[in-house]
Structure formats: structure tokens, C-alpha cells
Amino acid sequence: MIHHAGIGTYIRNLLPHLQLHQVPLRSSIYTLKEQIEFSRKIPPCDLFWSPHFNVPLFPIKAKKRIVTIHDVYHLDHPQSFAKYTYAKMLYRKAVEASARIITVSEFSKGRILHHFPQAKEKITVIHPGADHLLHVEPKPIETPSSFFLFVGNEKPHKNLSLVRKVIPNLIVVNGSLPIENLCWLYRNAEALIFPSFYEGWGLPPLEAMSLGCPVVTSNAASIPEACQNAALYFDAKSPEDLKRALSLLPEKKEALIAKGKERSSQLTWKHAARQHAEFLL
């Protein structure tokens, strides 16, 4: 998971700032093998922090447990009864076994408390950083002379199909591109288009903002909380509203770039790590 986008970005950028003993696992996430590995590899400790809700279901020798729950997408939008049932078990264990819970947005906090109101007294919000690409040297990649950018996977809630209906010159990055090329795309795109129906936080818009790329995004879930007044918003269900937002881009572009840099500069991994350290103690 640490090598993936999204939650992997969260883990990679927090760990250098925290003094923790890491327990790497080889098993696939959400599997029985993962649970067996938890039992075998986690040593006796004063504190066990899980950076995702795939927590140990079997007892471990930790005096205190803390978990980060980024969202409850698997409960809000279940893909199947079996997946929902297993996710519910993991989430419940994460909530009940943890002395404290970290989440990444007020939106996610609200959704967690909707499913687990008993978590109210032990949950706090810590926003992730957005400065991890600032010192990456961009590497050019062949593109059309003018293009829009989509960064994310193609799961239904990412809503890529809506953008494809509206924008022909779209470049889609699904996580397999070297980070140097991604930074170049952010710096040269007309805008990042982020049409998601559901996010616990949403890193791509803030990554784009940090590198001077305007953001046109849906107004769903946590996204307005993350982007604030630094983006153009549209209804994720409406191609026509996306067209409306795009029509405003030429006159708003410079202001969006300035506001985006200001917003992203407020979110650093050093500050996020300091908040985590205070909360973990």
C-alpha cells in the first residue's frame, strides 16, 4: 500500500517526520494472509498505529491502538454483500479497538460517525499535506499542444466517463506514470479536471494547485473542504455544468493559479506530522 497513490502518498510523506518502528507486510490488503502476518510480525509495543482501516482482527500485544480511517466508501457505496460485510467488520474493529481515531476531513468524520456514533469522543481531523511535489524535477512527456488532465483510477465513483463526454483532449493518469512526468503534466495542463462523486479528502487537486495548475472539480463530498475557494466547481452529475465551469476558465485562470498556490501552501506534511505526533502520544 505504501507504494500506491492516495493513502500510499499519505504514508510515504508522514513516515519521514515520525519516529516509528515500521512493520512492512508482503500480503495483499484485506486478505486472510494479511491478518496472519499481522499476528506474526507485530511485536509487543506501547502503541500500534494503523494508517488505514485494515486493522488486525486477532489480538496483538499493543498497550494502545490508534487508526487512521480516510473514508467509509466501502460502507457508503458497497460493491457487494460480501465486500460490505468484511469491510463493516474491519471498520467496526478499527473503531472499537482503537483508543483514538484520525481522519482526514470533516466530511469523513461525519460519515464515520453516521455509521459508528460511538466514535464521537475519540475522533479528530488532521488534514494531509500538499507540498510533496514541490521539489520534484519535472520531466517532459509527449502531449498535444493543449490538454486537460485527469489523475486517478477508473473506479465508478471517480466519474471519468462524464469528463470523456465533454473533453476530447484529455490525458488520463492512473498512477503508473513516473512522478517526474506527472509533475510536468500538472505544470503544463490547461487544468486538472476532478469529477469525483466521493472522496475522503482528494489529493490530486491540491497537488495540481501546488504546481500552478488550475483546478475544475466537482462539488461533492470532501472536495470543497479541501479546495475551498481555489477551484471552479460543477455538479458531478451534469456534463452541462462541467461545460459551464470550463467556459469560465479563461477569465478565471490566473486567479485560480494564485488562489491554488495559497491554499496548497497552507497544507504541509511537516505540520500534519506534528499534529499526528501530538495525537499519537
pLDDT at 99 over 70: yes
In contact, 200 and 177? CB cutoff 8 Å: no
For the purposes of burial, counting CB atoms within 10 Å of the CB of 80, is it exposed (0-12), middle (13-18) or buried (19 or more)? exposed
Tell me the CA distances in angstroms from 37 to 3, 4, 60, 140, one per residue in order.
19, 20, 11, 41
CA-to-CA distance for 126 and 279, rounded, in angstroms? 10
Q: Show the cell assigned to 200.
A: 475522503
Tell me the CA distances in angstroms from 246 to 166, 217, 242, one per residue in order.
10, 10, 6
64 DSSP β-pair partners: 47
Reported for 99-102, long-range contacts at CB under 8 A and 24+ positions apart, including other chains, are 99/64, 99/65, 99/66, 100/66, 100/124, 100/279, 100/280, 101/66, 101/67, 101/68, 101/69, 102/66, 102/67, 102/68, 102/69, 102/126, 102/276, 102/279
Q: Show the cell assigned to 203.
A: 489529493
In contact, 279 and 100? CB cutoff 8 Å: yes
Per-residue pLDDT tens digits for 36-49? 999 999 999 999 99
- Angle, helix 269-280 to helix 7-14, in steps of 10 degrees: 80
Per-residue pLDDT tens digits for 146-181? 999 999 999 999 999 999 999 999 999 997 899 999
Averaged pLDDT, 141-148: 97
pLDDT at 2 over 80: no
Per-residue pLDDT tens digits for 23-72? 888 899 999 999 999 999 999 999 999 999 999 999 999 999 999 999 99
Per-residue pLDDT tens digits for 203-255? 999 999 999 999 999 999 999 999 999 999 999 999 999 999 999 999 999 99
Task: State residue 269's pLDDT score.
Answer: 97
Q: What is the mean pLDDT of the chain?
A: 96
pTM: 0.94
Task: State residue 128's pLDDT score.
Answer: 98
Give CA torsion, residues 228, 232, 236, 237, to 10 deg.
140
CA-to-CA distance for 81 and 176, rounded, in angstroms? 30
Per-residue pLDDT tens digits for 125-139? 999 999 999 999 999
With a CB cutoff of 8 Å and minimum separation 6, the contacts of 229 are: 259, 263
Q: Show the cell assigned to 160.
A: 471519468
Averaged pLDDT, 184-189: 99
Domains of the chain: 7-125 (no CATH), 148-265 (3.40.50.2000)
For the purposes of burial, counting CB atoms within 10 Å of the CB of 189, is it exposed (0-12), middle (13-18) or buried (19 or more)? buried
